[in-house]
Amino acid sequence: MGSYEGDAAGMVDAAVAKAHADAAGLRVDAENVLYVRKAILEEYEELKATLDQEGQDLGYKSHLYGGDPVSADAAIAFPERVSRLIGECHQHVNELLDMATKLEAAAKAYHYTDDEIAAMTPQAQVASVAAINATLGTFLRPWERT
């Protein structure tokens, strides 16, 4: 059962959506839509950061493994295969982002405001914590005030 994209207008058949939710063991409703979206976005951010790092590290690991002819071939083939796998993983991670976007639309359908949705977005929480820390810092370190 793949992901259901909806019709041309983006409307999802309720029976199909219910079948997908039942198969996944997940129920999204007005009470939990923002929490489910937040959890998915947190997973997206963590997985994307890991994949991005692994992709960067891959370039540094491309070296000969031994002096024999098989190792020379492996030094070329292994990074290529891993790169393809990481690319496929990126596609799956992007599906999480698509899911979060659809959950945002669902939240709006449940009459949540943009501010309420933004407040339950991981980046918004990180930014608000940074702002609070900066504000506290001015109180805790008065000598740094300008």
Give pLDDT, residue 7: 56
Q: How many structural domains compose the chain?
A: 1
48 part of a folded domain: yes
Total-model pTM: 0.61
Q: Which domain holds residue 60?
A: 31-144
pLDDT of 61 above 60? no
6 part of a folded domain: no
49 part of a folded domain: yes
26 part of a folded domain: no
Q: Report the pLDDT averaged over residues 82-102.
A: 88
Number of neighbouring beta carbons within 10 Å of residue 40 = 20
**More confident of the two residues 87 and 74:** 87
Rounded to an integer, what is the distance from CA 101 to the centroid of its chain? 11
At 1, the pLDDT band (50, 70, 90 cuts) reads very low
Gap between the Cα atoms of 67 and 1, Å rounded: 47
Gap between the Cα atoms of 74 and 45, Å rounded: 32
pLDDT of 145 above 60? no
pLDDT of 112 above 90? yes
